[in-house]
Amino acid sequence: MTIKLNGDPHDIPQPLSVSALLVTLAIDARRVAVEHNLAVVKKAAYDTSIVRDGDEVEIVNFVGGG
């Protein structure tokens, strides 16, 4: 299956929850915002939002500093 991840094609083996996708990508869910098919996903919905073939996902990392 192929999704569009941050604008680029990315293969995933099967439909995954947003949580599982973040784990697969080794991304800390506490430090990102996720948009799935043009809708922002609340952290409480990461386990129930399923990413499927052809979906678009944008992941934005929060960076601290000053």
User: Hey, what are 25's tokens?
Assistant: 């990508």
Residue 24: what pLDDT? 96
Range of the domain at 14: 2-61
> Which CA distances in Å does 28 have to 3, 51, 54, 65?
20, 18, 24, 18
Q: Is residue 66 part of a domain?
A: no
Compute the distance between CA of residue 22 and CA of residue 40 in angstroms, rounded to an integer: 15
User: Hey, what are 42's tokens?
Assistant: 């609340």
Q: Is residue 11 part of a domain?
A: yes
**pLDDT bucket at 62, cuts 50 / 70 / 90:** confident
* Per-residue pLDDT tens digits for 3-59: 999 999 999 999 999 999 999 999 999 999 999 999 999 999 999 999 999 999 999
Q: Is residue 31 part of a domain?
A: yes
Number of structural domains, the chain?
Answer: 1
